[in-house]
Structure 1
Amino acid sequence: MGRSFAERSHETELMDTEAVSVEDYRACLKDLATVNALTLTHRPILAWLDRATRRLAPNERVTVLDVGYGYGDLLRKIHAWSGRKGRAVDLVGVDLNPMSEPIAQAATPSGVPIEYRTGDVFDYKPERPIDFVISSQTTHHMSNEELATFIRWMEQITARGWYIADLHRHPVPFHVFGTLARVARWHRFVQHDGPVSIARSFRKADWDSVLKAAGLEPKAAEIRWHVPFRLCVSRLK
């Protein structure tokens, strides 16, 4: 009997359950960053930031918070984007895994001002207003109830808006990624968790339900599909 993609899977990911060394975890995050680059993961977020800051004065500084930064590759991409745009940006990341902070810091060139923090984002008390919260490939780790809480939290903490980038639950990426990960001989977590992440991810109806549970008005947030099999949710205030 074939796998059903009708509902979100409740399978667990090794990354969330298995204790590993810092070096093993670093290898996993490094391979995930390679996957992000190959699959254009960060492109929709950068395009949204372009749109979100278009009407701001060039010298108007904004703060961006990345929830679940992992290897820090998205924050480094945003730093490069801000340099190209001449946009002053304060970059902060919060990640639940205590190994992420030293790994991301070590992967970040000296002189690149990114503030990496460890902890539960719901306990995070910003020292300055947060303009934008972004989260990439993180929300599929959450239940629908946790997602609704997360969206309400972003609504409260952001001055200008938020962006969630995640996966579209579909058999094509599920099977293609599983094959690609084995051929590329990526980290065993990536080989196992990649297909599980896709099975745990979303269709539009899932997001419609979560947004309603979070108390957002219809049409308050935008749900958009991006190549390859990304389903992203955003809100500009």
Structure 2
Amino acid sequence: MRSLAERDPDAVEEMDRPDCDPAKLRRTYAQFWLINTVVSGWRRNYVRYLRPRLEPERINTLLDIGSGGGDVPRMLARWARRDGVRLEVTGIDPDDRAHAFASSRPAVPGLEFRRAFSSELVTEGRTYDVVISNHVLHHLDDAQFRSLLADSEQLAGRLSLHSDIERSRWGYGLFSAGTLPFFPGSYIRQDGLTSIRRSYTADELAAAAPPGWQCLRHRPWQNLLLHVPDGTPP
């Protein structure tokens, strides 16, 4: 394994391989909700960044790019409904396997899934109040990274928020030790460690982002990349 002092963009997550074990992949999708609940900070993101930009007197729209197993958009749809906010959530993922899993779960009011790239929605002329992604940026090569952010600027009317893991030695060690007894028969631990190796530090992410994007470091292990079309502070 390469040193964590530098990104390892050539490391490949097993679940990204087209020939990975389908049973392990389904189990991984099914277990994502626990990992995202514990480490991804979406409740904080919803309260701090998303909810203030949702208007209770009208229908709001949110797009989740690379929605995977669909647990994050499900959480957001439920929180908004509980808060009395009308929110229509669309989760997109180009992977047939992810789309099939997300679509197979019990329906949540105001939530739909599509198998699509963000660029397809731009071509269709779609727009949303808020555009998000969760742990997607580290999967992308440089061209895909730039394209995703460009698409987000086209699609989001109020806010784009992309949340990703921050690479660090202590984060790698904690995740390695903390997940060792758990998640048998899935790719959670193995791919989680690979994700950390592929991920950016806050300084690297800020340097990679184009003008108009702001990188915020949220302890203990998250980076947020935000873009507000009107230029107001996030």
Instruction: Quickly name the TM-score band, shorter chain normalised.
Output: 0.7 to 0.9
| Residue matched to 2:157 | 159
Match of 2:209, SS state, is helix
2:223 to 199, 213, 231: 231
2:34 corresponds in structure 1 to 34
Corresponding residue of 1:51: 52
Identify if the C-alpha distance between structure 1 residues 24 and 195 changes in structure 2 by more than 3 Å, giving closer, same or farther. closer
Post-superposition offset of 1:126: 4.8
For 1:179, the aligned partner's letter is: A
TM-score w.r.t. length of structure 2 = 0.87
2:179–2:189: 8 Å Cα contact kept in structure 1? yes
Say whether the 8 Å CA contact 2:163–2:222 is kept in structure 1. Answer: yes
- Residue type at the aligned position of 1:41: G
- Indicate the residue corresponding to 2:110 in structure 1: 113
Could you tell me which amino acid in structure 1 is paired with residue 171 of structure 2?
P
- 2: distance between equivalents of 1:195 and 1:229? 13
For the 8 Å contact 1:31–1:186, the answer to whether it is kept is: no
Alignment CA distance shift 1:187-1:137 (3 Å): farther
Indicate the SS of the match to 1:99. helix
Two-structure CA RMSD over aligned residues (Å): 2.1
Which residue of the partner structure matches residue 179 of structure 1? Answer: 177
Contact 1:224/1:233 (CA < 8 Å) preserved in 2? Answer: yes
1:177 is displaced (CA, Å) by 0.8
Identity percentage of aligned residues: 23
Compute the displacement of 1:114 (Å). 1.3
Provide the residue aligned with 2:87 in structure 1: 89
CA 1:112–1:3 in structure 2 vs 1: closer, same or farther (change >3 Å)? same
Pair 1:75 & 2:67 matched: no
- Rounded Cα–Cα distance in structure 2 between residues aligned with 1:200 and 1:150: 17
How far 1:227 sits from its partner (Å)?
Answer: 3.3
Which 10-residue stretch deviates more, 93-102 or 179-188? 179-188
Deviations, residues 43-79 of structure 1 (Å, cap 9, x unaligned) = 23312102333xx4x2121110101111111111111
Structure 2: stretches of 5+ with no match in the other structure:
230-234
Structure 2 residue corresponding to 1:222, chosen from 214, 229, 232: 214
